Chain A
Amino acid sequence: MSCWIRPCYAGFWVYASVSASLLLGGCYEGPGDAGQQSGTDTDADTAGGTAGSSGGEPMEPAPENAELIPESMARRLSVAELDNTIRDLLGDDTEPASQFLSEEEYTPFDNTYALQTPSQALVEQLEVMARDVSERLVADPTRLAQLIPCEPTGADDAACFRTFIEDFGRRALRRPLTAEEVEAYMTLQAYATEDNAVVDNDFDTAVGLVVQTVLQDPEFLYRIEVGTPTDEDGIYKLDDFEIATRLSYLLLGSTPDQQLLADADAGMLGDPQTRVQVIERLLQDERAKDQLHRYHAMWLGYRGIPHEATLIEAFNQETAALIDRVIFEDQGSYMELFTSTQTYVDDYLAQHYEMPLPPGGEGWVTYDDPNRAGILSHGSVLAAFSKFTDTSPTQRGILIRNRLQCLDIPQPPPDIDTDNPPASNNPDACKEERYAEHTQIASCDGCHSMMDPIGMGLENYDMAGKFREYDDGRPECIISGEGELPGSGAFSGPRELADKLIASGELEACVVQQYLTFALGRQLVEGEEEILNLVLTDFADDGYGFAAMMTTYTGDELFGFRKEPQTGGE
Chain B
Amino acid sequence: MARRLTRRTVLRGVGGIGVALPILECMLDSRGEALAADGGEIPCRYGLVFAGQALGGDNWAKDASRVAGMNFTEEGHFIAPPEAGTGWTMTTPLEPLALLRDDFSIVSNMKIPYNATNTDGSAVPEGGAYRDFHGGGCSPLLSGTRSTAPSFTCNGITSDQVIAQMHAGATPFGSLVYRAQPSWYLSGSSYSGRQYISYTGGGEPVEAQVSPQVAYMSLFGNFQPDNEDDIAILDFTLRSRRSVLDLITAKRERVLGEVGAADRIRLERHFDELRDLEERIAAISPEGGSCEVPPDPGTDPAIGGDNAGAGSGSIEENTGWSDETTRANVLADIIHMAFACDLTRVATLQLTVFQSHMNVFVPSSDMGIPIKADLHEVGHNGDVDNRGQICVSTMLEWHIQFYARLLQKLKDTPEGAGTLLDHSAIVFTAEAGHGRQLNDAASENQTHSVEQMVMLVGGRAGGLNPGQHIITAEAHPVQALISAMQAAGYPGDTLGEVAGTIPELFT
Is B a genuine binding partner of A?
yes
CA distance A414 to B440 in the complex (A): 8
Contacts of A206-247 to chain B: CB distance below 8 A: 209, 212-213, 216-219, 221-222, 224, 226
CA distance A102 to B184 in the complex (A): 11
Known A389-B311, A419-B376: A128·B119 in contact at CB below 8 Å: no
* Mask of B231-249 contacts with A, CB within 8 angstroms, 1/0: 0110010011101110110
Residues of B near A100 (CB, < 8 A) are: 211, 213-214
Known A103-B183, A224-B263, A226-B259: A191·B313 in contact at CB below 8 Å: no
B220 at the interface (CB under 8 A from A): no
Q: Is the CB of A191 within 8 A of B236?
A: yes
Q: Is the CB of B209 within 8 A of A121?
A: yes
CA distance A414 to B151 in the complex (A): 11
Residues of B near A117 (CB, < 8 A) are: 207, 266, 269
CA distance A386 to B311 in the complex (A): 9
CA distance A90 to B189 in the complex (A): 33
Count of chain A residues with a beta carbon within 8 Å of a chain B beta carbon: 92
CA distance A209 to B244 in the complex (A): 7
* Mask of A280-320 contacts with B, CB within 8 angstroms, 1/0: 00000000000000000100011111111101100000000
Q: Is the CB of A414 within 8 A of B273?
A: no
Q: Is the CB of B190 within 8 A of A106?
A: yes
* Mask of B186-214 contacts with A, CB within 8 angstroms, 1/0: 11111110000000000000111111011
Contacts of A329-345 to chain B: CB distance below 8 A: none
Q: Is the CB of A224 within 8 A of B259?
A: yes
Q: Is the CB of B263 within 8 A of A125?
A: no
Known A217-B251, A414-B136, A463-B309: A74·B267 in contact at CB below 8 Å: yes
Return the chain B residue nearest A307 by Cβ.
Answer: B313
Known A196-B232, A303-B187: A102·B244 in contact at CB below 8 Å: no
CA distance A279 to B223 in the complex (A): 51
Residues of B near A217 (CB, < 8 A) are: 248, 251
* Mask of A97-124 contacts with B, CB within 8 angstroms, 1/0: 0111011111110000000111111111
- Count: A-B pairs, CB below 8 Å: 263
A73 at the interface (CB under 8 A from B): yes
Interface SS majority for chain A: loop
* Size bin of chain B's contact surface: 35 or more
B312 at the interface (CB under 8 A from A): yes
Q: Is the CB of B149 within 8 A of A304?
A: no
Q: Is the CB of A191 within 8 A of B439?
A: no
Of B209, B299, B317, which is within 8 A of A308 by CB?
Answer: B317
Min CB gap A181→B, angstroms: 8
Give the interface segment out of B127-135, B290-298, B388-396, B451-459.
Answer: B127-135
Min CB gap B238→A, angstroms: 12
A30 at the interface (CB under 8 A from B): yes
CA distance A302 to B269 in the complex (A): 34
* Mask of A541-554 contacts with B, CB within 8 angstroms, 1/0: 00000000000000
A503 at the interface (CB under 8 A from B): no
Known A74-B267, A123-B277: A31·B188 in contact at CB below 8 Å: no
Q: Is the CB of B218 within 8 A of A124?
A: yes
* Mask of A368-399 contacts with B, CB within 8 angstroms, 1/0: 00000000000000011110111100010001
A411 at the interface (CB under 8 A from B): yes
CA distance A184 to B248 in the complex (A): 10
Residues of A within 8 A of B (CB): 30-32, 73-74, 98-100, 102-108, 116-125, 127-128, 130-131, 184-185, 187-188, 191, 194, 196-199, 201, 209, 212-213, 216-219, 221-222, 224, 226, 297, 301-309, 311-312, 383-386, 388-391, 395, 399, 411-417, 419-420, 462-464, 472, 564-565, 567-570
15 pairs from A and B in contact (CB 8 Å cutoff):
A74-B266, A100-B213, A102-B207, A103-B191, A188-B240, A191-B243, A199-B233, A216-B244, A216-B274, A306-B313, A414-B130, A414-B131, A417-B448, A419-B380, A565-B261
Residues of B within 8 A of A (CB): 58, 119-121, 130-134, 136, 148-151, 177, 182-192, 206-211, 213-215, 217-218, 229, 232-233, 236, 239-241, 243-245, 247-248, 250-251, 255, 258-263, 265-267, 269-274, 276-277, 299-300, 303, 305-314, 317, 319-320, 355, 373, 376-377, 380-381, 437, 439-441, 446, 448
Given contacts A74-B263, A222-B270, 20 further A-B contacts (CB under 8 A): A103-B184, A104-B190, A105-B192, A107-B190, A119-B206, A188-B244, A198-B233, A212-B241, A302-B187, A306-B309, A311-B312, A312-B305, A414-B136, A415-B119, A419-B376, A462-B311, A464-B313, A569-B262, A569-B263, A570-B265
